[in-house]
Structure 1
Amino acid sequence: MMQELGQYIEEHWQIGPELQLKILYTFIAFLLLLLIRLIALTLIFKSFKDIKHRYLWKNGVKNAYYIILLFVLLNIWIDRIDSLGTFLGLVSAGLAIALQVPIVNLAGWIFIMVRKPFEVGDRIEIGEDAGDVIDIRFFQFTINEIGNWVDSDQSTGRIIHIPNGKVFSVSQANYNQGFSHVWNETKVNITFESDWKLAKVILTEIVNKHAEELSFSAKRKLLEASKKYMIFYSNLTPFIYTSVKDRGVELTIRYLSLPKKRRVIEHVIWEEILERFSKEETISLAYPTQRVYFEGDNPLLKRSKSQK
């Protein structure tokens, strides 16, 4: 069969036996490597049930397939150049100009794989974009966008593809790496006439109920992160800060939360605040108000007239 294929190619395409062998070897290499890739993917899907682990192994097999295929093809077709380094030197100048952006993106991929500023599943912010990393490829990585027109870092439903080379030009914030929790603050405004001390006691009970477990968990995570990063917090327990604003007393609840559960915890805390405050006659939430005086009813004008 191989001889018949070679004769057919030689008769119709008029190419020599050396080129025929190269084409044949290339065809065989494609088939063998593709078969190995399919077998590896089958084993991965059978061995790993966790979606993230399955994705990482599948992505690793895909990258290894392309790299091995590239080296095999170079070995088959490049035989008239004594050194692969010489060949690379001849084409590097042209590639640097013609493929400048792809090369930078490929270097960015290597940086991401080796340095690991983020991984699949991490929530990051890079430049003006923020989201959960769902894919990392040779030339770009993909995030599931959060924020933008949606409040509290929840998903917008959009997928954003970002060039890998962007990791060299803009800063990146990782919500998960190092310290797995983030600080969140909820501001509660009450009137000056309210019993702010009682309100603070109620808020302390509420935040301890919903965030205390996270604080203990954060201590363990922080201890692990301190081995790699210079991260130190003296206090991880929830705290309530008191300040005075123009419309009343502002009580700021500061507590730790997992990045992806920030809105859920704030939702639960606010619902309990509204329920508890509604039962207290001495506590009223503050909100912007406006007083309207009809002609002659303004007490300041009446006072000025009486003084005259």
Structure 2
Amino acid sequence: MSKEPFTEKLNSKNFDEIKGKFRHKFLNRTILLFLLLILLLALVVLANQQNIISIPQAVIDYLSLALTILMSYALASIVARLTVNRIMYLFGDAFEPEQRILLSKAYIALLYTIATIYVFVIIGIQVQDIAIFLGLIATGFAFAIRDVILSYISWFILLTKKPFKIGDHIHIEGIEGMVKHIGMFYVLLDDSPETYDDFYKVPNKLFLEKPIRNYGRGQFATEFDLYLTKTPVNTSGISLDLSTLAEELNTEIGKTFSSRIDLRLDSDKEGMKIRVYYRSCYADRDIIKDKILAILYRSLQKSSRTGDSDTRGTNC
């Protein structure tokens, strides 16, 4: 499988361990940062009240205001950390995993918005001032992080329009694998889901620019061509009986896999070829193809030897 420059192959012990380790990583770090800052400011204010240090009253007022702001956001972070999973659990199976991801992010954003409104009320900012301030900030912010905004938009489209779901097998730009996670910046594709040893991180915006082939979760159609002139077998004089070959393939493959193989004779500018059609799940696709090629090669080799024997007998 080719490795494109926009992808990054990651090694890990186990995908589930990584998922558990980084779950709510943002909230955990945010809570820790707020608690450290609150502790620092509280110590400074307490030291001033105990006359251990002398700080001007104007500075104390600003520090008290900052302490109130930090406590508001810390409380929002703690509430989000403690309730986000329970809120999602209340919905049960009413929403798909992709929709639950979006709802959890929206719930966290709502809590921080409430905390921000409370801070604005404490500071005494008017609604008109808030609108002007947010407009200026949003304009400059959008130009500064337009790539990040594009990733967020792509993430939102992937979750709402659902060109694929978690658990589907997809193909994009030479990368194939099972969708393990749809993040705000990357989609994790695992090309060996049975081992969890490695996976690819594909940028979200790529899914808006490149075509996606979604194989789904069950069996999907697969086909490949076998050019007779390029096989390591002398095909001159071979009499092809595709129905017999297909019956032999279905008998052999059917012992292990529930897949039916169809053969068609076709040609193009490169010569005569056998087109092979079959359906399988993603994990069995390459294994079945390997068995098909082995059986076809053995059959063609046997037919070649038979043809040579018949030719030699005729010449005599």
Q: What TM-score comes out, normalization by structure 2 length?
A: 0.59
Q: Distance in 2 between matches of 1:269 and 1:127?
A: 26
Matched residue, 1:142: 188
Letter in 2 for 1:134: K
Are 1:40 and 1:61, in contact at CA under 8 Å, matched by a contact in 2? no
Letter in 2 for 1:172: I
Equivalent position to 2:150, from 104, 109, 112: 104
Q: Distance in 2 between matches of 1:9 and 1:205?
A: 89
Letter in 1 for 2:70: I
Are 2:250 and 2:259, in contact at CA under 8 Å, matched by a contact in 1? no
2:109 pairs with 1:67: yes
- Inter-CA distance 269–99: structure 2 relative to 1 (3 Å threshold): same
Equivalent position to 2:207, from 149, 152, 167: 167
Q: Distance in 1 between matches of 2:107 and 2:274?
A: 58
Letter in 2 for 1:205: E
Ranked by relative contact order (alpha carbons within 8 Å, sequence separation 6 or more), the top structure is 2
Q: Distance in 2 between matches of 1:130 and 1:240?
A: 27
Matched residue, 1:27: 74
Are 1:186 and 1:253, in contact at CA under 8 Å, matched by a contact in 2? yes
Deviation at 1:35, TM superposition (A): 1.8
Q: What TM-score comes out, normalization by structure 1 length?
A: 0.60
Q: How many residues align?
A: 242
Q: Secondary structure at the match of 1:196?
A: coil
- Inter-CA distance 273–180: structure 2 relative to 1 (3 Å threshold): closer
Deviation at 1:143, TM superposition (A): 1.8
Equivalent position to 1:257, from 280, 288, 306: 280
Deviation at 1:116, TM superposition (A): 0.9
Q: Distance in 2 between matches of 1:277 and 1:173?
A: 33
Matched residue, 1:266: 289
Q: Which stretch shifts more, 157-166 or 88-97?
A: 157-166
Are 1:214 and 1:257, in contact at CA under 8 Å, matched by a contact in 2? yes
Q: Which stretch shifts more, 203-212 or 259-268?
A: 203-212
- Inter-CA distance 77–112: structure 2 relative to 1 (3 Å threshold): same
| Gaps in structure 2 of 5+ consecutive residues | 1-37, 50-54, 309-316
Cα root mean square deviation, aligned: 4.3
Are 1:122 and 1:175, in contact at CA under 8 Å, matched by a contact in 2? yes
Q: Secondary structure at the match of 1:138?
A: coil
Matched residue, 2:18: none
Matched residue, 2:22: none
Summarize deviations over 1:184-223 as a string: whole Å, max 9, x none.
12526362222323xx2331203444479546xxxxxxxx
Q: Which stretch shifts more, 82-91 or 22-31?
A: 82-91
Summarize deviations over 1:68-98 as a string: whole Å, max 9, x none.
3432332233331416654432222101111
Matched residue, 1:193: 237
- Inter-CA distance 144–110: structure 2 relative to 1 (3 Å threshold): same
Q: Distance in 2 between matches of 1:14 and 1:250?
A: 84
Are 2:98 and 2:159, in contact at CA under 8 Å, matched by a contact in 1? no
Deviation at 1:268, TM superposition (A): 2.6
- Inter-CA distance 144–283: structure 2 relative to 1 (3 Å threshold): farther
Identity %: 17
| Gaps in structure 1 of 5+ consecutive residues | 147-153, 216-236, 285-308
Matched residue, 2:264: 240
Q: Secondary structure at the match of 2:166?
A: coil
Q: Secondary structure at the match of 1:108?
A: helix
- Inter-CA distance 57–110: structure 2 relative to 1 (3 Å threshold): closer
Summarize deviations over 1:17-53 as a string: whole Å, max 9, x none.
5544333332222222222236568x69xx99xxxx8
Letter in 2 for 1:136: I
Matched residue, 2:247: 205
Letter in 2 for 1:108: S
Bigger fraction of residues in helix? 2
Q: Distance in 1 between matches of 2:269 and 2:65?
A: 85
Q: Which stretch shifts more, 99-108 or 68-77?
A: 68-77
